[in-house]
Amino acid sequence: MSAHRLPAPWGTRLDRAARVPFSFDGRDFEGFAGDTLASALLANGVRLTGRSFKYHRPRGVFAAGVEETSTLVDVGEGAYRSPNENAATLELVPGLTASSVNRWPSLRFDFGAINARLAAVLPAGFYYKTFKWPDWHWYEPSIRRMAGLGRVANASDPDRYEEIAVEVDVLVVGAGLAGLCAARAAAEAGARVRVLAAGPQPGGALAYRDPQRARELAASAERAGARIATRTLAFGVYDHGLVCAREKLVEQDGAQRPRLRERLWKIRARAVIAATGAFERPMVFPDNDRPGVMLAGAVEEYARAFGVACGRRVVVAANCDSAYDTARSLREAGMEVVAVVDRRREAERGRDPGPGTRVIAGAGLSAVFGRNGVSGCSVRQDAAPTGRAERLDCDLIASAGGFAPAVHLHSHAGGRLRWLDAEAMFVPDGPAGVVVSVGACAGVFDATAAAEHAELAGRALARGERLPPWPAPGIGRSLAHTALSGARGKQFVDLQNDVDLGDVALAARENYRSVEHLKRYTTTGMGTDQGKTSNVNALVALGEFSGREPAAVGTTTFRPPFVPVTLGTFVGRRTGALYRPLKRLPAEAWHVERGALFEQFGNWWRPAAYPQPGEDLHAAAQREAAAVRRGAGLMDGSPLGKLDVFGPDAAAFLDLMYVGTVSTLKAGQARYGVVLNEHGVVMDDGIVARLADNRFWVNTTSAGVERTAAAFEEWLQCEYPQLRLCITPVTSHYGNVTVAGPRAWAWLASIGFDAALAPKAMRHMTLREATWEGTPLKVMRASFCGELSYEINLPVDRTRALLDRLWARAAEFEAVPYGIEALEILRTEKGYLHVGTDTDGTTLPGDIGMARGVERKAANFVGRRSLLRPAALDPNRFVLVALDSADGRTLLPVGAQIAPEPPPTRTQGHVTSSYFSPTLGRPVALAMLERGGSRVGERIKVHHLGRVIEAVVTRAPFVDPEGRRIDGEE
């Protein structure tokens, strides 16, 4: 094992007194508090930590931050399993159980590695070309199984998640040198400042390079008033200064108990300072993915922060001056730096390599030796592609290809980028909306310049002043193209997706010239990488193969989230009963006591039926519907939508809202009406009753009251603001008990209802205001079942009292409670439509038998003009009809298509409602049918899942076509 622990003071993050046991792939290990899983694995000499996505090539720890893509692990067990966690950011906690992904049966012996041998026939986009014959779906399951790396838990997540909202003046994302300087300056200028630190402590790279200064800087920022949140990573910038961040509250420690795991921060900021640093760019050389090839900055961070020497003999593959700083650090840590192999010519180097450092300038790595771990490399001069290569023995290759500023937040905010040719990097081209970049993510790498720029920016943003000028990068020269000409073997530009130079060359040959097309074709920059380490190398290569400069190639658009975020974080509290707001009936307990089977109807949690012992939903609904036709039934109609419309122009306004005319109603009269949208499409229906000259009682459907009220308000406020009226939803103020059936009145009379409400005294489609035992009532005679029916509206807190009183006398009238299912049967028997069930987003009033109403109304109404369009006048429109099954026995399935031939064919309509009628002893159905009105008596074919059912077009109502039952028994 070449990697090993270094003695203190190496390992600034570690608490060596606290040993932390953990397991990886079933083997037990030990680390220290402060370790990440990656650092602990390295310290224990574990080099092989993963398998690549496509070729299943062996991979080891590559990076030390969010850019790590080679060591993704599944953490936890059972329901607590969390897939594809980044080992480089996963804090080590006692009991942590991790396993490698994308391998079978084991990490060391992986059958999938056969793919590497088949690489020649698996180039970029091979699956687009290969798996087309005879049908992609033959291959899809296998390919899907191979994709996705880790495995999700097979049970719902027991952990809890929450969200929190805050408002600040200045939000600083990143708590490194630049971020803390900006935060301190902004806070000192009087701004409310919050700083987000992704890791467990503020400081960024400064925290391990100069821990004392990092602590002092953080303390001074806090003294100035800035609030620093740790373990909180901003993953997206959205409109209007909204930044979303994920705070990790606990790591999975193997304990099987639910905890508050993560918190979503929704931060509204007047100004956002991005101080997110930069990613080191990997060098491109053959087999640059072997375990033991690591980013140079990561090698230094593991040494300084975690006290881990990632190897004993290191070759630094360089393309930038920082490589020499890294080499110096590694020597200080006791590692042997075999050589710095610099792709640049000697004259392009801006650093003194220091004494004792062997530099091989103008050269690159032409081969890497070792399969599951680096054992050496060969080095060759760029100018001599056929020349003899020199072999260097080493167990670690530190890859220092330059830097790519982390411009993601800048891009989320819509910012533009510009290419710096000398430094070979994209940097923000000025601020992006509320986002201002400072430090390395702005391309400013000189520490002094970065700190000064950040302070000036923080102060300016706090005071609303002009921003300071952008300083020079101060990082020296890097080459854009780092690959060695003539080198052979796989030279990866994207380790996570196994995209190599050959894939990019293929894409260029196939004319995928846009970098966005390159991304989709080769998958480079996808997955958790999202271009962090792959983007620049891929686009430089595309430019090379298509004869363009990197600036001309451009870069892909970075979109949120910056890092993977658990679905739980987005979901927050919205699980289980809190998933969706459901409306609860005021007298819910009454129904529960009577054995109601509750279901969700239009956001209401209400009884579908009241099954008796031995009954299922269907049987209960049949019994209840029959009982209503025979005697009486009661239904809790409280969900019925109710609007109070008041004002001198209320009648005129409602005339505009309904197809029918409302203004001719006298006080106490009621009328059915249909509401259209501006396209003439039926959006709701209901009954309007006049209470007084200037006041109306408007019933809507239960599910449609919000949209109807909103539509009324919109028309009133936007189109008819001159009208004086108010629309007030009152659904929840009133309970509603609907009593229906031939004996409905007798039942109501038995509990003391006023004789003025009797059918002889009160006509159908009227409303009376009355009192019952001191309770004010609004009683409507209207029927959705065809029987005598009273809709009794009363103060909501009296609903239960009325239900109890009625129930006490129910037996005398063979009365039952009935649910929505029975109501659906009853209304279908009568041919009454249910908006949303029998209608859809294309249904016009003429399609549901209201053509005459439209023609008769001379005045304007919403949607009228749209009814004159040619499509609305098409004689072939679907029209609501009634259907009988031809054999009188078969229930027509709802949704079944109507056509002369089996599908696929042009449909002539579909079944919308279908029930077995307990009154008739046979099925009845409604359907939308092309030219339906002229096809009564025609035999049609109904197709459902391969079955053909013959049916006959008929007329509704099926029951009581003369309407004799509407006044009940006399």
Partner 1 sequence: MGDLEAALAPVSADGIEAILERDWHVAALRYFAVHGDLIEALAKCGLGLPALGQAVEARGPGGAHFLLAARSPTETWVMTRDGAAFGALAAQLAPCVDGCLVDQSGGLWPVRVRGARIEELLTRIGSTAALVAAGAAHVTRIAELTVMVAAPGDGAERLLLVDRVYAPHLFGWIRATVADL
Tell me which stretch binds partner 1 (CB under 8 A): 98-106, 157-165, 317-325, 493-501.
157-165
Tell me which stretch binds partner 1 (CB under 8 A): 110-118, 353-361, 530-538, 725-733.
725-733
Binding mask 17-56 for partner 1 (x = CB under 8 A): ----------------------------------------
User: Least Å distance between CB 430 and partner 1?
Assistant: 29
Number of residues located near partner 1, criterion CB under 8 A: 44
Residue 574 touches partner 1, criterion: CB under 8 A:
yes
Binding mask 166-205 for partner 1 (x = CB under 8 A): xx--------------------------------------
Binding mask 618-647 for partner 1 (x = CB under 8 A): --------------------------x-xx
| Cβ burial, residue 529 (10 Å; 0-12/13-18/19+) | buried
Tell me which stretch binds partner 1 (CB under 8 A): 105-113, 158-166, 399-407, 426-434.
158-166
- 577 to 606, contacts with partner 1 by CB under 8 A? 577-578, 580-586, 588-589, 598, 604-605
CA 501 and chain centroid, separation: 34
Tell me which stretch binds partner 1 (CB under 8 A): 160-168, 169-177, 661-669, 932-940.
160-168
- 660 to 719, contacts with partner 1 by CB under 8 A? 694-695
Which residues, at least 6 apart from 850, have a Cβ–Cβ distance to it below 8 Å?
Answer: 659, 674
Tell me which stretch binds partner 1 (CB under 8 A): 286-294, 341-349, 662-670, 793-801.
793-801
CB closer to partner 1, 418 vs 574? 574
Relative to beta strand 336-342, strand 359-361 is: parallel
The string of DSSP codes covering 25-51 is TTEEEEEEET-BHHHHHHHTT----EE
Residue 796 touches partner 1, criterion: CB under 8 A:
yes
Sheet containing 72-75, strands listed edge to edge, beginning at the edge strand earlier in sequence: 27-33, 15-24, 96-100, 72-75, 82-86
**Residue 258 near residue 383 (C-beta atoms within 8 A):** no
Helix (H), strand (E), coil (C) string for 246-288 = EEECCCCCCCCCCCEEEEEEEEEEEEEEECCCEEECCCCCCCC
Residue 801 touches partner 1, criterion: CB under 8 A:
no
Cβ neighbours, 10 Å, residue 527: 18
Binding mask 478-517 for partner 1 (x = CB under 8 A): ----------------------------------------
Give the integer Cα–Cα distance in Å for 927 and 883: 7
Binding mask 357-376 for partner 1 (x = CB under 8 A): --------------------
CB closer to partner 1, 469 vs 581? 581
Binding mask 242-281 for partner 1 (x = CB under 8 A): ------------------x-----x-x-------------
User: Least Å distance between CB 167 and partner 1?
Assistant: 4
CA 327 and chain centroid, separation: 44
- Of 16, 391, 573, 869, the one binding partner 1 (CB under 8 A) is 573
Cα dihedral across residues 402, 406, 408, 410: positive or negative: negative
Which residues, at least 6 apart from 625, have a Cβ–Cβ distance to it below 8 Å?
Answer: 818, 822, 825, 826, 829, 918, 919
CB closer to partner 1, 580 vs 760? 580
CB closer to partner 1, 581 vs 937? 581
Cα dihedral across residues 887, 893, 895, 897: positive or negative: negative
Which residues sit opposite 59 in a β-bridge? 50
CB closer to partner 1, 33 vs 691? 691
Cβ neighbours, 10 Å, residue 351: 18
SS3 category, 517: helix
- Of 1, 114, 152, 165, the one binding partner 1 (CB under 8 A) is 165
Give the integer Cα–Cα distance in Å for 733 and 796: 6
CA-to-CA dists, residue 226 to 34, 221, 453, angstroms:
25, 6, 18
User: Least Å distance between CB 568 and partner 1?
Assistant: 14
- Of 112, 468, 602, 795, the one binding partner 1 (CB under 8 A) is 795
| Cβ burial, residue 150 (10 Å; 0-12/13-18/19+) | middle
Relative to beta strand 939-944, strand 293-295 is: unpaired
- Enter the tokens of residue 425: 């990097």
User: Least Å distance between CB 785 and partner 1?
Assistant: 24
Give the integer Cα–Cα distance in Å for 9 and 563: 32
| Cβ burial, residue 123 (10 Å; 0-12/13-18/19+) | middle
Tell me which stretch binds partner 1 (CB under 8 A): 10-18, 79-87, 571-579, 962-970.
571-579
CB closer to partner 1, 646 vs 807? 646
Tell me which stretch binds partner 1 (CB under 8 A): 322-330, 664-672, 789-797, 817-825.
789-797
CB closer to partner 1, 134 vs 581? 581
User: Least Å distance between CB 693 and partner 1?
Assistant: 10
Phi, psi of 189 (to 5 degrees): -85, 5
Residues that bind partner 1 (CB under 8 A): 160, 162-167, 260, 266, 268, 573-574, 577-578, 580-586, 588-589, 598, 604-605, 644, 646-648, 694-695, 724-726, 728, 730-734, 795-797
